[in-house]
Structure 1
Amino acid sequence: MRLKDFFTTDSVSLDLTSTSKDDLLSELVALLDLDAKSEAVLFKTLKRRENLGSTGIGKGIAIPHCRSLVVNRLRLAYGRKPDGVDFNAIDSQPVHNLFLIVAPPLEVSNQYLPVLGKIAQFAKDPDVPARLASISSPAEFLALLDEKAP
Structure 2
Amino acid sequence: MDIAGVREIFNERLIDLDMKSVNKREAIEELTDSLYKEGHIIDCKAFVDDVYLRENEGQTGIGNHIAIPHGKSDAVKITSIAFGRTKNDLAWESPDDEPVHVVILFAVRNVDKTTVHLKLLSQVAMALADDATLDKLLKTNDKTEIIRLLSQEMN
Q: Same fold (TM over 0.5)?
A: yes
1:129 aligns with 134
Residue of structure 1 in register with 2:17 after alignment: 14
Which residue number in structure 2 is paired with residue 88 of structure 1? 93
SS of the equivalent of 2:48 reads helix
Instruction: Classify the secondary structure of the residue corresponding to 2:36.
Output: coil
**Does the 8 Å CA contact 1:60/1:129 hold for their aligned counterparts?**
no
Question: Residue 50 and residue 14 in structure 1: after superposition, are their counterparts in 2 closer, same or farther (change >3 A)?
Answer: same
Q: Tell me, in whole angstroms, the C-alpha distance in 2 between the residues paired with 1:108 and 1:86.
A: 27
Taking the aligned partners of 1:42 and 1:10, their CA distance within structure 2 comes to 19
Kindly state the Cα deviation for residue 104 of structure 1 after the two structures are TM-superposed.
1.4
What is the aligned length?
149
5+ residue gaps, structure 2: none
Q: Tell me, which stretches of 5 or more residues in structure 1 are unaligned?
A: none
Shift of 1:37: 6.7
Amino acid of the structure 1 residue aligned with 2:33 = A
> C-alpha displacement at 1:103, in angstroms?
1.2
Distance (whole Å) between structure 1 residues aligned to residue 149 and residue 97 of structure 2: 26
Give the superposed CA RMSD. Answer: 2.2
Cα distance 1:47–1:105, how it changes in 2: closer, same or farther (>3 A)?
same
Deviation at 1:108, TM superposition (A): 8.9
Indicate which of 110, 116, 126 corresponds to 2:115: 110
